[in-house]
């Protein structure tokens, strides 16, 4: 975690005010999206049927709530939050089932009563994908070093939670992973070679 004094060295501005306009607007969007994700989890929890999905949802919600609080704290104060960003660790294996199985085409729901674990896990996955994108974009615009570090350290957690949900969906058949033919896969894998240092670059 980045440590800093109470004032900027360049302009003696208190760190609570050491934010650029782009940063304030982008982190506002991040925090609003984090609230929306947490609200989605609350709204959807009572509709979950599978105990495994419920366990994933509960662990992720607790982690997301804590991460929202430290991000909000860093944003408001410009100082280190009460604790550094933690790392989310999923509790399932990373085996992926490859290939496509024919099934009923997907389509939007026509009634709220159609909600099921496939729909709910889809919302969860979308939440984390949006979080990873939004936090990355905001971190690239952030001038306050503490806020930038909190956002930056949070991105891998969004990726890990998305991966956990996608693995659950893959196991249940909700998320299928196609593959290229062996010939095409090998052709793609062998398109790249070892880089050599350019002659005009120093050792």
3 occurs within a structural domain: no
Which contacts qualify for 8-15: CB closer than 8 Å, 24 or more apart?
Answer: 14/78, 15/77, 15/78, 15/79, 15/144, 15/146
pLDDT the model gives residue 14: 53
46 occurs within a structural domain: yes
- The CATH number of whichever domain residue 29 belongs to comes to 1.20.1260.10
pLDDT tens-place string over residues 27-46: 999 999 999 999 999 999 99
Neighbours of 49 (CB within 10 A): 10
Average pLDDT score over residue span 163-185: 95
**Counted domains in the chain:** 1
Q: How confident is the model at residue 7 (pLDDT cuts 50, 70, 90)?
A: very low
Q: How confident is the model at residue 3 (pLDDT cuts 50, 70, 90)?
A: very low
Rounded Cα distance between 203 and 87, Å, is 36
153 occurs within a structural domain: yes
Rounded Cα distance between 25 and 14, Å, is 19
Stronger pLDDT, 5 or 87, i.e. the higher one = 87
pLDDT the model gives residue 6: 41
176 occurs within a structural domain: yes
Which contacts qualify for 183-188: CB closer than 8 Å, 24 or more apart?
Answer: none
Q: 3-state class of 189 per DSSP? A: helix
| DSSP single-letter state for residue 16 | G
100 occurs within a structural domain: no
Classify residue 176 as left (phi > 0), alpha (psi -120 to 50) or beta.
beta
97 occurs within a structural domain: no
Rounded Cα distance between 93 and 195, Å, is 34
pLDDT the model gives residue 16: 55
Identify which of 75, 44, 41, 80 has the alpha carbon closest to the alpha carbon of residue 61. 41
Average pLDDT score over residue span 42-65: 98
Q: Which domain holds residue 144?
A: 15-92+114-189
What would you measure as the largest C-alpha separation in the chain, in angstroms? 65
Stronger pLDDT, 10 or 83, i.e. the higher one = 83
Average pLDDT score over residue span 4-24: 60
Please list, in sequence order, all residues whose beta carbon lies within 8 angstroms of the beta carbon of residue 147, skipping any fewer than 6 positions away.
19, 23, 27, 71, 74, 75, 78
48 occurs within a structural domain: yes
């Amino acid at each position: 975690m980045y440590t800093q004094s109470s004032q900027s060295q360049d302009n003696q501005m208190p760190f609570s005010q050491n934010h650029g306009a782009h940063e304030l607007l982008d982190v506002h969007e991040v925090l609003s999206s984090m609230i929306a994700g947490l609200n989605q989890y609350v709204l959807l929890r009572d509709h979950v049927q599978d105990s495994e999905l419920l366990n994933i949802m509960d662990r992720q919600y607790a982690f997301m709530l804590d991460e929202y609080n430290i991000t909000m704290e860093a944003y408001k104060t410009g100082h280190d939050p009460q604790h550094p960003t933690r790392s989310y660790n999923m509790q399932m294996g990373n085996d992926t089932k490859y290939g496509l199985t024919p099934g009923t085409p997907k389509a939007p729901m026509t009634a709220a009563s159609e909600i099921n674990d496939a729909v709910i896990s889809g919302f969860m996955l979308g939440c984390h994908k949006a979080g990873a994108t939004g936090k990355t974009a905001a971190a690239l615009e952030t001038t306050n070093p503490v806020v930038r570090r909190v956002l930056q350290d949070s991105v891998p957690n969004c990726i890990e939670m998305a991966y956990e949900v996608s693995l659950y969906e893959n196991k249940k058949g909700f998320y299928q992973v196609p593959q290229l033919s062996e010939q095409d896969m090998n052709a793609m894998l062998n398109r790249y070679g070892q880089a050599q240092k350019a002659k005009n670059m120093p050792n």
